[in-house]
């Protein structure tokens, strides 16, 4: 009878806190997940460095392409494409701000072949009770900043990332329900053109 009560208590605890029984994901499992992720889209909430909040939809097409469409009143568009990141302000007639993709921590997610086991790439690998948290940087250029990614398991899924950029800024992106697979048209990721 005592054993039955102990088993029942363990079962109740498992139902009350399902995340507590999850395990830290190995880096190889996360690398495989990212390499298998070809297309995805999700609603997102972005917490900016100044504390303001934006929402929108993110589209990912690996390797190398990502699109952030923001909800009004934010009229900005952020594109990663053609080895560059473009920040477009649709309220301005100015040319987009452009940065080499390899100089941003997003290049780690968008790389053709993600290998988190590479020497000096991962500088943090933890489990916070509900998700595996991996902090990664370009091992050859740590001055470009880092990206802290959160992954849940069963199934493995990217849930959030925090970009700590080279200028000391910090941007958090929290993903909603992610839809993976399917076709995303290449035109979504075309670099912006401004007529002079």
pLDDT of residue 195: 53
Q: What is the pLDDT of residues 24-56, one digit of tens each?
A: 999 999 999 999 999 999 999 999 999 999 999
Pick the closest to residue 48 from 80, 90, 87 (CA basis).
Answer: 87
Residue 70 within a domain: yes
Total domain count, the chain: 1
CATH number, domain at 133? 2.50.20.10
CA neighbor of 24 nearest in space, from 109, 123, 125: 125
pLDDT of residue 22: 62
In a domain, residue 64? The reply is: yes
Tell whether 122 is covered by a domain: yes
Domain hosting residue 41, numbered range = 22-175
Does 16 reside within a domain?
Answer: no
Q: Give per-residue pLDDT as tens, 7-27.
A: 333 333 333 333 444 689 999
In a domain? residue 190: no
User: Which residues, given as ranges, of the chain have pLDDT below 70?
Assistant: 1-22, 194-196
Q: What pLDDT score does 96 carry? A: 87
3-class SS of residue 21: helix
- Identify whether 192 is part of a domain: no
């Amino acid at each position: 009878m005592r054993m039955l009560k102990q088993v029942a208590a363990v079962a109740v605890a498992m139902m009350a806190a399902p995340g507590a029984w999850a395990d830290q994901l190995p880096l190889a499992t996360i690398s495989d997940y990212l390499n298998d992720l070809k297309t995805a889209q999700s609603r997102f909430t972005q917490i900016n460095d100044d504390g303001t909040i934006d929402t929108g939809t993110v589209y990912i097409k690996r390797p190398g392409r990502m699109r952030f469409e923001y909800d009004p009143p934010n009229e900005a568009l952020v594109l990663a494409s053609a080895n560059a990141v473009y920040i477009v302000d649709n309220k301005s007639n100015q040319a987009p701000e452009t940065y080499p993709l390899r100089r941003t921590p997003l290049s780690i997610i968008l790389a053709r072949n993600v290998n988190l086991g590479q020497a000096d790439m991962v500088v943090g690998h933890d489990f916070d009770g509900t998700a595996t948290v991996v902090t990664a940087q370009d091992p050859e250029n740590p001055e470009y900043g880092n990206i802290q990614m959160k992954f849940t398991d069963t199934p493995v899924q990217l849930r959030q990332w925090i970009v700590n950029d080279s200028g000391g800024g910090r941007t958090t992106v929290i993903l909603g329900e992610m839809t993976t697979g399917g076709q995303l048209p290449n035109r979504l990721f075309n670099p912006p053109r401004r007529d002079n």
